[in-house]
Amino acid sequence: METLWNKGIETPREVTRFTVGNDPLWDLRLAPYDVQGSVAHVKMLGKTGLLSPEETGLLVTGLETVLQKIRRGELVIGQGAEDIHSLVELELSRDLGDLGKKIHAGRSRNDQVMTDIHLYLKDVCKDMARQTETLFDCLLEQSERYKEVLMPGYTHERPAMPSSFGLWMGAYAEILTDDIYQLTAAFLHCDQNPLGSAAGYGNSFPLDREETTRLMGFGTLKYNSIAAQMSRGRTERSLAFAMASVAGTLNKLAADCCLFSGPDYGFMDFPESLTTGSSIMPHKKNPDVWELVRARCNVIEGLPNQITLVCTNLTHGYHRDFQMIKDLLFPAIDSLFECLGMTVLMISQMRVNQAIFEDERYDLLFTVESVNRLVLEGVPFRDAYRRVAGSLRDGSYKVQKNIKHTHTGSIGDPANEKIREKMEQALSRILNKD
């Protein structure tokens, strides 16, 4: 295998295996973005006169050919090249000779890999926003469908007050807007162009970094070359926090569904095809999907701390430690997308029990309504509270289940349209919606 930094000294195979790690796998994910960055870099070199128009045209065409090979799965890292950067240069050199070697002028693998990661994570943010929006739409659709159906609300894991399925599912929809706010922050971290910072200190070529920023569609530059290098790890951690936020929402929803779909609660059910059975208990309908969503999301919520620890105690500038972040972040991205997809499937198939409050065990949830009814009749709140509490003690309490909530965000007005407007505004910065 030829390394870009080879000085004629043979490296033991075990050292190569150890230092390369899983990069050949993850670099294939970054391959299209490496070509995108290389095309922008070549065009910029042509604009500044470092490449002739003919050379620029040949290199851009050559890079487009490399991209087609990548998309067809024809290129493999490790057979003559140590990473995607050397592979692209090797492919160009095979076709164009020494001209292919000119693409590395004015950049380092340090700013190349950062550019690849920034471009890739920008797309991850957009795809994650779209899939979160799909779940949001599913939750609001179910919220509207069942907004008249009451369910118990809980505090301290004890029945507390009447709630509704509309309010419960609408709550998770609105919380997803907070997750999009976090994702927007991550997107803005990624939307800065590090290309041209080279190994962290720029170089003597007359680079036009504003041009590569424009060509790759970045919102702005990471201006200071050292700051660009210091963003390695910080950018990935920013996305990890956003992912942990989404995962926290899915985790809580999964925990609710595990509990409330069980026979002891019976608030909802899911098709038997979406549950699993037991090898010895014929009656079992286990919520394995929800349990695995819950567990996977617990793992993802630990991701920011893992990335933080990898980057702890590192001085400014590049360190090989950063390579480990791919092993942490990339599989977590795949896992979160799978969890989002499974959550949409489960929520879309949810079947709601519309007769929960026919069970007398939930009669006491209406005591607050009784207190409020007395207050509306002119009884001071504290006196009304004591009167209802006394009726509970002496057994004279009579439940009245007719309730009327009117304020914004209540059972009577879950404000789903306002929540939808909030989500559309939250998504606009990432998805450029009007």
Tell me the pLDDT tens digit for each residue of 200-241.
999 999 999 999 999 999 999 999 999 999 999 999 999 999
Q: What is the pLDDT of residue 1?
A: 46
> What does pTM read for this prediction?
0.92
Contact 44, 208 (CB under 8 A): yes
Residue partners of 63: CB distance under 8 A and separation at least 6: 35, 38, 39, 42, 88, 92
Whether the per-residue pLDDT at 434 is higher than 70: the answer is no
351-352 and 268-269 strand pairing: antiparallel
Phi-psi region of 309 (alpha: psi -120 to 50; beta: other; left: phi over 0): alpha
Q: Can you tell me the distance from the alpha carbon of 8 to that of 305, in angstroms, rounded to the nearest whole number?
A: 40
Q: Can you tell me the mean pLDDT for 353-364?
A: 93
HSE of 347, CA atoms in CB hemisphere, 13 A: 30
Contact 287, 257 (CB under 8 A): yes
Q: Can you tell me the mean pLDDT for 90-98?
A: 91
Contact 161, 368 (CB under 8 A): yes
Q: Can you tell me the mean pLDDT for 64-68?
A: 95
- pLDDT per residue over 155-199, tens digit each? 999 999 999 999 999 999 999 999 999 999 999 999 999 999 999
Reported as a pLDDT band with limits 50, 70 and 90, residue 154 is very high
Q: What is the pLDDT of residue 76?
A: 82
Ordered domains of the chain (ranges, CATH): 13-105 (1.10.275.10), 110-358+408-431 (1.20.200.10), 360-394 (no CATH)
